[in-house]
């Protein structure tokens, strides 16, 4: 019937079900790291006595939660 190797066929079917998964995971990791670093810098500014707008702190905190959540849900479920 088919001359395609069964392993290759399985890999291609998996890729067709979730295209660009590797690229998405790299982006989620990069965005999570950036949001965490931004939050860490803001927290250090607060500790040093500098004034940080509360809205900016909420945005950074929300970005951390969002990107870590996206990274969590994009994992392999096998």
Question: What is the domain count for the chain?
Answer: 1
Do the domain assignments include residue 6?
no
Task: Identify which of 15, 2, 36, 18 has the alpha carbon closest to the alpha carbon of residue 74.
Answer: 18
Query: What's the whole-number mean pLDDT along residues 52-60?
Result: 94
DSSP 74: T
Residue 52 structural domain = 20-73
In this structure, is residue 31 part of a structural domain? Answer: yes
33 found inside a domain = yes
The whole-number pLDDT of residue 6 equals 84
Statement: residue 64 has pLDDT above 90: yes
Quote the CA–CA distance of 58 and 39 in Å, as a whole number: 9
Question: How far is the C-alpha of 39 from the C-alpha of 67, rounded, in Å?
Answer: 13
Q: Is a pLDDT exceeding 90 seen at residue 2? A: no
Q: Is the pTM of this model over 0.85?
A: no
């Amino acid at each position: 019937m088919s001359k395609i190797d069964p392993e290759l066929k399985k890999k291609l079917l998996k890729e067709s079900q979730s295209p660009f998964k590797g690229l998405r995971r790299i982006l989620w990791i990069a965005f999570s790291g950036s949001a965490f670093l931004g939050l860490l810098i803001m927290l250090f500014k607060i500790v040093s006595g500098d004034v940080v707008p509360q809205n900016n702190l909420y945005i950074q905190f929300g970005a951390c939660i969002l990107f870590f959540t996206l990274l969590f849900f994009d994992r392999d479920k096998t």
